[in-house]
Amino acid sequence: MRTILLAGLPALMLALPSAAQTQTAAREGSKLIAEFTATVKTKGRFQDGANALTTSAVHRVLKGRCQLQAGAVVPYGLDGPSKQQEKAMKKKDPGMASLEKEHAKCKGNQACLMALAQKMSEQDFQPKETEVEGAVQVWYPQSCSGAFTADDVYTEDIKDGGNLSYQARSTITGTATLPEGGLKGWLGLYVEHDLARNQTLYRFNEAEALPLDKKTVRTGYRAGTTQSKPRVGLTQRFEPTPWGPVKGGVQSGSLSKNIEGGTLVLDWRISR
């Protein structure tokens, strides 16, 4: 007799995508290389009355190279199931619902549970799979490396009267490397191919802020030159929104987003 475990009834199972949905999917475990460049350009000007003017011109570039690996084709991507999919997954199989009621009536009685197991075996009971429409394949970064460069200029023109007035010009320049760190390092890009909709999302992750060279030359009040090494990031803000969707499968491309004071442009190239 086949052994059937009743303690802890099977959870809802997700239906496998049909052959039609997966015919363009990559084989699970397949690899590709994604090389990308994220460029930020912004300008700012702030006038505080007649006494203070500050400006900024930011130019930052983050370059990355990631090895990605294809996951299995599943009904939904990294954002989780849609409301329609959640509703479908909560729909209980009538046969399983009946079984749960009988299981509860046994109240842990071993003889009752054995009789229920015998009944299930004789009827060859098989719970129906939950039908969840969708077919998504995520390409996960296995290791990434890159470099971050900045060429920023900031100015101040302060007219506080007498000996308190000054002008200052600050620059942030240099390049910092992002060494390959495997799954514990920077994971710069996830790619999410929706086979059912024939579209792809590109999930770009900024690297952590890195130390670069800052130099400030000041004239007038407290004149002098100072140098430091602050940590600087591409935008230094969390950007959870994915790029796209882009029509079609995993492919090279370019997209841009408006950010405060300018633009953030992402270019990527895919090779297999």
133-179: pLDDT as tens digits? 789 999 999 999 999 999 999 999 999 887 889 999 999 999 999 99
177-215: pLDDT as tens digits? 999 999 999 999 999 999 999 999 999 999 999 999 999
Q: Within 10 Å of residue 265's Cβ, how many Cβ atoms? A: 15
82-115: pLDDT as tens digits? 777 777 666 666 666 676 777 787 877 777 877 7
Residues composing the chain? 272
Rounded to whole angstroms, the Cα distance separating 133 from 213 reads 52
Mean local confidence (pLDDT), 229-253: 90
Q: In terms of C-beta density within 10 A (0-12 exposed, 13-18 middle, 19 or more buried), how is residue 138 classed?
A: buried
- Among the residue ranges 10-24, 114-128, 219-233, the one predicted with the least confidence is 10-24
Identify whether the C-beta of residue 75 lies closer than 8 Å to the C-beta of residue 132.
yes
pTM as predicted: 0.76
